[in-house]
Amino acid sequence: MDVRRLGGRIAAALRALAAGGSLMPIPSWVANGLAMISLVLSSCDLLRLCSDRDRRLLFPLRCREFVTVFCQLASILYLFGLCGTGIASANSETHACRDQGGSPDQTRAAADAPEALHDGVEDGDEEIVAAVVSGALPSHHLESRLGDCHRAARLRREALRRMTGRGVEGLPLDGMDYQAILGQCCEMPVGYVQIPVGVAGPLLLDGEQYHIPMATTEGCLVASVNRGCRAIAASGGAVSSLFRDAMSRAPVVKLPSIKRAAELKEFAEALTNFETLAAVFNRSSRFGKLQGINCALAGRNVYIRFTCSTGDAMGMNMVSKGVENVLGYLQTDFPDMDIISLSGNYCSDKKPAAVNWIEGCGKSVACEATVKGGVVQSVLKTTVQKLVELNIVKNLVGSAVAGALGGFNAHASNIVTALFIATGQDPAQNVESSQCLTMMEAVNDGCDLHISVTMPSIEVGTIGGGTCLTSQAACLNLLGVKGPNLDSPGENAKLLATIVAGSVLAGELSLMAALASGQLVKSHMKYNRSSKDVQGAAS
C-alpha cells in the first residue's frame, strides 16, 4: 500500500467520523485543525530533540519520542491524503464536465449537488442505494448524477423498498424510455402503470373515419362507444364545428386602492391599448397570439384573464410566458402594482368553473348527428321518444336538481379521460374538458333522433407533455394528428378536439340508449365481469 493510499484511508476515516459515522462525530474543520496542530507541535518537538545533545533521538524509541514520531507521520499522511483527495475530485469534476460537453465553471456552479457516483468496486449500486436511503443523496439527483435514467429508476425502486418495507414488484420497470420523460413528463420515476387501450369505431365524422383509442380500466366503455359509432355511421355520420380556440391564463395583481385597480382594468381592456399589449404578449412564441383581455375586480385585486391561440400545443406554458411579458410591461405604467400570482383561478384550470362554461377555454366544439329511427330500434334497441324524454329528465332536469356546473350530460368525462390518457393529454384537465351539454330532439315528424353535444372547454394538444411518449404518439398517429401540422399550424390540435367531441357524441348516444332500454346492468354484467372474478368470489 503506497503512502498516498494510506493517507487517503486516514483522511476518509476522519471524514467518516466528521460525518457522524461514530458515536462521537467530529466536524471536518475540527479534524483538520487537530491535524495541523499535531503537525506543528510534533515538528517542534522533533527539532528540539534533534538539537538537544543531552537527549538524542535513539532507537528503540522511548514513550515520548514514539508519540512525537507517530503524531508527525499521522499528521503528514492525513494532510497528504486531503490534498490527494482534493486533486482527484478536481480531476474527476473536470473529466465529468468535459464528457458532458460543459466547462469546469459550469460544473462548479452546481456545487450544492452531491458528488457524482458511478459503477465500480467502491461506488456500486449498493452504495448509491444506501446514500439515497440515508438522505445523503437526494432521490431527484439520481438521473443527473448517474447519467442513466433507467438505472436511476431501478435504484430508486430499491431505495423505496428499503425505506418503506414494501416492494413494488408488480409495477413494470422495463419497457419505458425514461430518457424521454426526463424534464418533461414525470419526476423521480420508479416504473409505469399499465392501462389497456381499446379501439372503438370507426367514427364517421365530417366525412372521415377515425378509429378511437381509449385507455381505460372500465369494462363496457369501449364497447358502448363502439355501438354509438356504429349507429352514427349507419345514419350518415356526424358533423362538427369548432367555434372558439383560446387558451386562458388569469394572474391576480393588487393595487394600493380600488381606484387604482379600476384604472388598471380600464387600461388593460381598452381597445386602443390592445395592439401594444398583443405585441408584448406575442414575443414569447410565434404560435401564441393574444386574442383578448378581460378583467374582474375584487376589492383592490384585479384578475386579468388573457386568452390566446396556441397552435398545436395545449398551450398553458405558452400563454403563461406571454402573460409574464405583459405584466412586466404594465408595471411601467403601474409601478404600484403588486403581482400576487401568475394564476388567480379566474383562468380557470383543472377546476369546475362557470367562466369556462360561459366563456370557454381551449377548443370550443359542437358536434351533431341525425340518427335514423330504424337505427335507433335495430342498433340502440330503444325508441326516439324514450331517448328524448330521458335526456330531458336526466341530463337537463336531473343535472339542474343536482346543481351541476357544466355536467348536463350522461358520462362525457368517461370518454374524454380515456382519450386523454391514450393520447398523452393532461388527465387532470378532463375537469373542464368534460363540461358538456347533451341535447336530443325528435326530427322528421318524430321519426328520427337529432343528438348534439356542445363542449366549450376541450384542452388538447398534439405536441408537448405526454404526446412525446412512444405509446401516446402511436395513438395520435392512429388518429392522423401526431405532432405539429407543418402546413397549417394548429390544425392537428383542432382536429383532435373535434374527434374528442365526436367520440363523446357516440358515448352519450349509446349509454342513454342502454338506460332507456333497461340494458345497462345486463351489459355491464356481460362486459365488466369475468368468470375468474365470479369463481374467485364463490370460493
Confidence of residue 445 (pLDDT cuts 50, 70, 90): very high
DSSP string, 363-403: EEEEEEEEE-HHHHHHTSSS-HHHHHHHIIIIIIIIHHHTT
Confidence of residue 528 (pLDDT cuts 50, 70, 90): low
Q: Are residues 165 and 219 in the same domain?
A: no
Q: What is the spatial distance between Cα 281 and Cα 291, in angstroms, rounded to a whole number?
A: 10
- Domain-embedded: residue 348: no
Q: Are residues 485 and 413 in the same domain?
A: yes
Domain that holds residue 478: 197-245+363-527
CA neighbor of 457 nearest in space, from 305, 350, 370: 350
- Domain-embedded: residue 28: no
Q: Are residues 277 and 156 in the same domain?
A: no
What value does the mean pLDDT take over residues 58-84? 68
Q: Are residues 428 and 452 in the same domain?
A: yes
Summarised one tens digit per residue, pLDDT across range 360-400 is 999 999 999 999 999 999 999 999 999 999 999 999 999 99
Q: Please, what is the Cα angle at 354 between 288 and 411, to 5 degrees?
A: 95
Q: Are residues 167 and 274 in the same domain?
A: no
* CATH for 139: 1.10.3270.10
For residue 47, what pLDDT is reported?
73
- Domain-embedded: residue 71: no
- Domain-embedded: residue 380: yes
- Domain-embedded: residue 43: no
CA distances for 426 relative to 417, 422, 431, 432, 437, angstroms: 9, 10, 10, 11, 22
Q: Are residues 402 and 516 in the same domain?
A: yes
- Domain-embedded: residue 353: no
Q: How many domains does the chain have?
A: 3
AA letter at 424: G
Cβ proximity of 481 and 495 under 8 Å: yes
Summarised one tens digit per residue, pLDDT across range 241-262 is 999 999 999 999 999 999 999 9
Summarised one tens digit per residue, pLDDT across range 396-444 is 999 999 999 999 999 999 999 999 999 999 999 999 999 999 999 999 9
Summarised one tens digit per residue, pLDDT across range 197-223 is 999 999 999 999 999 999 999 989 999
Q: What is the spatial distance between Cα 214 and Cα 229, in angstroms, rounded to a whole number?
A: 14
Cell numbers 354484467 correspond to 525
Cell numbers 403601474 correspond to 334
Residues identified as active-site: 218, 350, 426, 524
**In degrees to the nearest 10, what's the CA dihedral of 357, 363, 364, 366?**
-130
Q: What is the spatial distance between Cα 324 and Cα 20, in angstroms, rounded to a whole number?
A: 46
- Domain-embedded: residue 178: yes
Confidence of residue 538 (pLDDT cuts 50, 70, 90): very low
DSSP string, 23-42: SS---HHHHHHHHHHHHHHH
Please tell me whether residue 472 adopts helix, strand or coil conformation.
Answer: helix
Q: Are residues 313 and 215 in the same domain?
A: no
Mean residue pLDDT across the chain = 85
pTM reported for the whole predicted model = 0.75
First to last CA, the chain: 68
CA neighbor of 226 nearest in space, from 27, 510, 531, 426: 510
* CA atoms within 13 A of residue 12's CA, in its CB half-sphere: 9
Cell numbers 398583443 correspond to 278
Q: What is the spatial distance between Cα 464 and Cα 313, in angstroms, rounded to a whole number?
A: 6
* CATH for 424: 3.90.770.10
Q: Are residues 465 and 427 in the same domain?
A: yes
Q: Are residues 223 and 302 in the same domain?
A: no
Q: Are residues 418 and 497 in the same domain?
A: yes
Q: Are residues 415 and 457 in the same domain?
A: yes
Summarised one tens digit per residue, pLDDT across range 331-357 is 999 999 999 999 999 999 999 999 999
Q: What are phi and psi of 8, to 5 degrees?
A: -65, -40
For residue 131, what pLDDT is reported?
92
Q: Are residues 373 and 516 in the same domain?
A: yes
CA neighbor of 477 nearest in space, from 468, 465, 486: 468
- Domain-embedded: residue 406: yes
Summarised one tens digit per residue, pLDDT across range 109-157 is 333 444 444 433 235 799 999 999 999 999 999 999 999 999 999 999 9
State which of 157, 176, 194 marks the end of a domain. 194
Q: What is the spatial distance between Cα 266 and Cα 259, in angstroms, rounded to a whole number?
A: 11
Q: What are phi and psi of 253, to 5 degrees?
A: -125, 155
What is the sign, positive or negative, of the torsion defined by CA atoms of 253, 259, 262, 263?
A: negative
State which of 157, 178, 194 marks the end of a domain. 194
Residue 147 DSSP code? S
